[in-house]
Amino acid sequence: MDDVKPTPIVSTALRGRGLLADPGLNKGTAFTDEERTSLGLVGLLPDSVESIDEQLARTRNEFDRMHDDLERHIYLRALQDHNETLFYAFLRANLRDTMPIVYTPTVGMATQQFSRIYRRSQGLFLSYRNRDSMAEQLANVDHPVDVVVVTDGERILGLGDQGVGGIGIPNGKLALYSAFGGIDPTRTLPIVLDVGTNNEERLADPEYLGWRNERISGDEYDSFIDQFVTELGNRFPSVLLQWEDFASHNAARLVDAYRDRILSFNDDIEGTAAVALAAIWSAISGTDRQLADQQFCIVGAGSAGTGIADMLVEALRAEGVEEPLERLWLLDRHGLLHDGRDDLEPYQAPLAHPRSHIGDWPDGQLAIDEVIRRSGATVLIGVSGQPGLFPEPVITALLDNTDRPVVMPLSNPTSRIEATPADIIRWTDGGALVATGSPFEPVEHDGVVHHISQANNVYVFPGLGLGAVAVGATTVTPRMLMTAAKAVYAVEDGGVADGVLPPLESVPEVSIRIAQAVARQARDDGLTEPMTDGEIDAAIDERMWRPIYPTVTPG
């Protein structure tokens, strides 16, 4: 679609070094001779005028010369600070190599090292200490905002409490929103709610840049969150708010509390659930069984696990299953969730089995492989954050129930995965259909190459956000999320040809398809102004930002 839209024209009052310092307008050596003359750039740049393709080639050479992934992460962040268009064009041109750098798994390392590698502010740091001036802090944002990603840094990936370093997660997510979802990067805002940290290593670190205080909780925390949502809505009434990496005890209740007050969703709960459902649908499309024929064992009953379970309940009901909970077996570190336990969290209780469902199952904690055998599980999902939790007996137990098990160890970063794809493929003699949370190389087994799909939320959230924002939706609903999941895997009849999900390189196209489907669903549910399909597609296309250089003129 890039070649059907005219080159944008932008007027600016900036001149010379001031223009070169603006990452949204800077083109570096791609400024034309005419632009250099009219904008006071002659002599401030080398003589050669380059195309963006020539700049991309040099950027690739520099990227390849970096010594490790953290160094590449720092390099790309510096490029983003210097030239946003080139940064996003580079991400799109090198998607498979750059996504693990700007997001998982390298972003986990970057959050841990945030205070040491800090160079320039990217985003808004709302500290509890400065809560009385929150409205003024939001007023300091001098540009319109369509999408905010916010975290409080308490549960970063599988790494726990990283305090203010958690800002790396919103930065990474918004980079993907712009690169693959067409959200204008000048209309995004990463935010960290700096409410302290209980990470003793961070508090003792003399370089730590956050508020040096134990993490607030209870009424203080809830009041601060309420203040944030109120002030954000006042400043940007039409914004989409994505909650990110909040601890399980806060994640579900916050998105439920504010869903109807501000357009919002929780990507760890709902985005993960949508991409997991898409992967399951796609995987089983290559078998002779339907979703309603499966039994699901989900290990990890935090926000991600319960979100996946809730989404599966909705999907099973849509396929006519009257008692979907009888097909879902959710485990936490204390074993199977059932209503005889007195330690369940409020968000877990609706997914707990009645004792009548589990009949003569013995009391006490059962091993995962025993739960698989007793339940007849055909799909195994790991969101536990516990590395190596799925050893060979767990995986081979699935083969008692099906010769084509779906195995999805989704914990990330890579160091937290429940089982590696190579082991899963070997233990099932090539029979398993595998999707992971972090990227893995293809696995060769018995002369067959198995491509491992990464069930990354990037398949869902950029398109979901684009569609919701483009049509001014008022709420993100479960039906919109299920529609997004269907749009992910519906690449061709019978699913995808290689792997479980479409190749990552197709994410930009998938995002447009998701945006269109989600926007139509929102319209059908009465969450937008009345619009025709043509008007929806035009609104999305008009909103789509592409990483191409504008013609810059004096203004």
- What's the gap between Cα 135 and its chain centre? 28
The question of whether 173 is a catalytic residue gets the answer: yes
The CA distance from 196 to 160, in Å, is 13
What are the structure tokens assigned to 28, written together? 């570096």
Examine residue 105 and say whether the peptide bond preceding it is cis (omega within 30 degrees of 0): yes
Alpha helix (H) ranges present in 103-187? 106-112, 114-117, 134-139, 168-181
Phi, then psi, of 357 in degrees rounded to 5: -70, -25
Asked whether the beta carbons of 454 and 504 are under 8 A apart, the reply is: yes
Q: Which of 88, 103, 347, 549 is catalytic?
A: 103
Q: Which of 27, 88, 128, 173 is catalytic?
A: 173
What are the structure tokens assigned to 333, written together? 């570190």
Beta strands 328-332 and 335-336 are antiparallel
Asked whether the beta carbons of 123 and 445 are under 8 A apart, the reply is: no
Half-sphere exposure of 369 (CA within 13 A, CB side): 11
Asked whether the beta carbons of 187 and 469 are under 8 A apart, the reply is: no
The CA distance from 36 to 496, in Å, is 48
CA-based nearest residue to 75, from 95, 57, 98: 98
- In 211-334, DSSP assigns E strands to 240-243, 264-266, 296-299, 328-332
What are the structure tokens assigned to 504, written together? 């990552």
- In 134-234, DSSP assigns E strands to 147-151, 188-194
Enumerate the active-site residues. 103, 173
